[in-house]
Amino acid sequence: MLDPEIDRIVGSANSSGAPEYCDMSVEEARLAHEEKAPLLGAPAVPLASVKDGRIPGTLIEIPVRIYRPSLDDAMQPCLVFYHGGGHVIGSLNSYDTLCRQLALQSGVVVVSVDYRLAPEYRFPAAVEDAFDAYEWLETNGESWGLDPCRLAIGGDSAGGNLAAVVALLVREAGIQAPRHQLMVYPATAPYPDSPSQLQYAENHILTRRLILWFHEQYLTYADHLDFRWAPLLADSHEDLPPSTIILAQCDPLRDEGIEYAHRLIAAGNDVTLSVYSGTTHPFFSWSGVSAKARTAVSFAALQIRTALAEANEAPVVVRGFRQPFG
């Protein structure tokens, strides 16, 4: 049963007669997403500074947007954020108000990464950009006033997928790991065949048709078995950063998020899992119209703030699960 506010959003979408993104051209889908995002997101709160920049990647300069909640002269902690959108849609602009909220409520700098999108740039282009952005900030962040010892990574949906993959790649590369990873309903499995994928295949915003369309734009058949797409397939999940995983109860991606949490815990990592009852994909972006979304964003910000606190302020992290939120 959906939360009443979430139910109104889902019901309105189902009765609108509007085509799904998968029934549009990619360009039309992107434009529709840009137009819809401000309607459900939180108001654009002012911050001390919001500036666009570029990070030199392996193949391109990666556009980013830097959200500073304060202009403190000291080196600031930073969340490297990867937006959602199936690796096909989404942008700095469509995630602007969410990143503002995360920066304001966490008190840390948020660097939002505008990685390359499919189908123009298929797998693993998004992964390359996501990793390059983190690696550059870990090495050169001080030039932007960022503390390389207090970095976190995070994202929702496709962005949650990228955060999980970057954590694995950072471990393999032997560079300094992020202090925390925030994954909001991340895609982690090779194929969309879990029970929740089938249970919520229709009438819950993120439909099975749309998921398969995203896969078609981003992946080849062989790519499904690459851990850089499906982090559940990684050879090892040991020695990864403490994690916060936020899931929606009525979401096709719910089960693979839970499975990834289990895998991380079994490998000895610290994990906090929160499943928000009565919610669906992509409720985390609906702070303008949903109390549950506001609660989830505030919880994510709290997790980031405590994870990136100074060493003598860092809290004890408890391994295990949180009960689903009511």
Helix, strand or coil, per DSSP, at residue 156? strand
Catalytic residue among 91, 106, 112, 157: 157
Catalytic residue among 3, 96, 251, 255: 251
CB 67 within 8 A of CB 95: no
Output helix, strand, coil percentages for the chain, rounded to the nearest 5. Answer: 40, 20, 40
CB 204 within 8 A of CB 281: yes
CA distance 137 to 135: 6
CA distance 3 to 290: 9
Q: Quick check: is 114 catalytic?
A: no
Catalytic residue among 33, 96, 281, 290: 281
Among 268, 267, 270, 243, which residue's Cα sits nearest to residue 257? 243
Kind of pairing, strands 180-184 and 146-156? parallel
CB 284 within 8 A of CB 83: no
Q: How many CB atoms lie within 10 A of CB 43?
A: 11
Burial 92-103 (b: 16+ CB within 10 A, else e): bebbbbbbbbbb
Q: Quick check: is 281 catalytic?
A: yes
Q: Residues 199, 201, 202, 207: what is their CA dihedral angle, to the nearest 10 degrees? A: 150
Residues with Cβ within 8 Å of residue 26, at least 6 apart in sequence: 88, 89, 119, 217
Contacts of 298-301 with CB under 8 Å at 24 or more apart are: 298/105, 299/246, 299/274, 300/102, 300/106, 300/154, 300/182, 300/184, 300/244, 300/246, 301/101, 301/102, 301/104, 301/105, 301/106
Q: Quick check: is 251 catalytic?
A: yes
Q: Active-site residue numbers?
A: 157, 251, 281
